[in-house]
Chains A and B, each alone.
Chain A
Amino acid sequence: MTEHTETILDASAVERTLRRMAGEIVEANGGTDNLVIVGIQRRGVQLADRIVALINASDGVAVPRGALDITLYRDDLQTIGPRPVVGSTELPGSIDGCNVVIVDDVLFTGRTIRAALDELADFGRPARIELAVLIDRGGRELPIQPDIVGKKVAARAGDRVDVQVHEIDGQSAVVLVSKRFE
């Protein structure tokens, strides 16, 4: 069995996709008032930073950005080991009445987003929560759908979709890794 790697988005394609997503976020919210962008640890946070920067470049507004680590809200903690590393959660002040956009790299089963919704509810009561993902690879296990999608990818159950960001991986790309029998 060998791993087969295919680049779905290269650096410039990622950049173009994020720019489009940033535009859609502003448009869907009728501007940037009350907008809060919340990235999910780990790579969702870097993508959220890029989106915030892109909005700042186009609209000249610094949208508040938060980071959410959903580890402690996972529904499989009793079964997995060793314990996953817990990242930091920081929200930019109160989220009561805000339009929160959750940003994540890949949407798969939907369980991460379920956890994120639970966690956000512990911080306050936003007016509205939307979901923006760079990649939707299908395979949902919960009734959760994205509002804004960078790209849809038809990945099979055993495949992996790796989103790479500069800050962590040294390059920006989206790669589909699939296992194949020769």
Chain B
Amino acid sequence: MTAAAPLGKDLLGLEPLSGEQISLILDTAEPFKEISERAIKKVPTLRGSTVVNLFFENSTRTRISFEFAEKRLSADTVNVSSSGSSVSKGETLVDTARNLEAMRIDMVVIRHGSSGAAKFLAGRIESNVINAGDGMHEHPTQGLLDLLTLRDHFKRIEGLRVCICGDVLHSRVARSNIWGLRKLGAEVAVCGPRSLMPNAIDEMGVTVFSRIEEAIEWADALNILRLQLERMTAGYIPSLREYNRVFGVTRERLERAPRDVLILHPGPMNRGVEIDSDVADGPHSVILPQVTNGVAVRMAVLYLLSGGRPELAESAKAGKGGA
């Protein structure tokens, strides 16, 4: 009964996972989709478990998605955000973590501006840790929901050609997508200005397109990253106008593609910058199904990481064998 949990204690990124583990999460997400369609959108699976959503960065979307996932599994949830908490009073991450642990929690969902923050926390507390985005490192549940959305549409991931467009340099979504897609056998490309690509991008096993037209011609799907407006003020690109001219995904460009290209975007979108409205709202956009899948994938992750506590298993031995 002490068999290792299928994903280990934590979900810190997709890079450490195997293709089988990623597939298991996606397969597990399937039945969870149905729960959100029920009149009573709740199952008792995590009853009695306490989950803390520890958000050091603002992210309404991801936090709400996690909160729905937790509540639909009947977990008790507490939200801690950086403003108005001890976090903004100079308390260190390790102190925050220890204080939470002292309150006997079961899981922590952490969003933090520093790469490695989730791993740091995971190494210091016994609770399960789920990375909801750490700096420029990974955002594994976003990667998973993108994979699930692609799989829903194409019925496969293997052999798909997916191009990640935009600010790969600063994007945790890009990294989680690259690892997840590659582990499931997709061909991955990136497209964007070289000033927003890691210098070592060629060593990450992806094709690099400098022009969006080439990417569109090649791809089955585009995952269009949000262009943070700070990138312009920091001098990575000259202007948003030029970015849209050169790299923006527009209907005109898509119409020249040899096949229908599926459009994903992790949100929130800058309409008229990286993506035009008629693409975002167009027939090949799966941006809203991505949001729906986000809840299912997060429920699957919570489910797969939870439980399996050997100290409680002793008393449950009698239950073995056909319940």
Report A's interface with B, CB cutoff 8 A: 69, 72-74, 76-83, 85-90, 106, 108-109, 111-112, 115, 118-119, 122-124, 137, 141, 160-161
Contact = CB atoms under 8 A, between A and B. Distances in A.
Interface of B: 1-6, 27-28, 30-32, 34-35, 38-40, 42-46, 48-49, 73, 303-304, 306-310, 312-313, 315-316, 318-319, 321-323
B45 A72 contact: yes
A80 B313 contact: yes
A106 B307 contact: no
A63 B285 CA distance: 39
B43 A112 contact: no
Given A79-B1, A79-B315, A86-B32, A122 B42 contact: yes
A88 B38 CA distance: 13
Contacts of A161: 322
B48 to A, nearest CB: 7
28 contacts: A72-B303, A73-B43, A74-B323, A76-B323, A78-B306, A78-B309, A78-B312, A79-B308, A80-B307, A81-B2, A81-B3, A81-B310, A82-B4, A82-B5, A82-B308, A83-B5, A83-B303, A83-B308, A85-B28, A89-B31, A89-B34, A108-B323, A115-B323, A118-B44, A122-B43, A124-B39, A160-B322, A161-B322
Nearest to B28: A86
B308 A80 contact: yes
Contacts of B308: 79-83
Given A109-B323, A112-B323, A80 B303 contact: no
A128 B48 CA distance: 30
A76 B315 CA distance: 10
Given A108-B321, A122-B38, A123-B38, A79 B309 contact: yes
A79 B38 contact: no
Nearest to B43: A72
Nearest to B2: A81
Nearest to B30: A88
A90 B31 CA distance: 10
B319 A76 contact: yes
Nearest to B312: A79
A111 B321 CA distance: 11
Nearest to A160: B321
B315 A86 contact: no
Nearest to A119: B43
A68 B3 CA distance: 27
Nearest to B46: A77
Contacts, number: 102
A119 B45 CA distance: 11
A76 B45 CA distance: 9
Given A79-B308, A88-B34, A137-B322, 16 more contacts: A72-B35, A72-B45, A77-B307, A78-B48, A78-B309, A79-B316, A81-B1, A82-B4, A83-B5, A85-B27, A86-B32, A108-B321, A122-B42, A123-B38, A123-B40, A160-B321
Contact of A122 (B6, B28, B40): B40
Contacts of A111: 319, 323
Which of A69, A112, A122, A161 gathers the greatest number of chain B CB atoms within 10 Å?
A122
Contacts of A74: 323
A87 B31 contact: yes
Nearest to A107: B322
A76 B261 CA distance: 45
B31 A108 contact: no
Contacts of B48: 78
A135 to B, nearest CB: 10
Contacts of A141: 318
Nearest to B34: A89
A112 B303 CA distance: 19
A119 B38 CA distance: 11
Which of A76, A90, A124 gathers the greatest number of chain B CB atoms within 10 Å?
A76
Contact of A72 (B44, B49, B304, B310): B44
A82 B3 contact: yes
Nearest to B72: A72
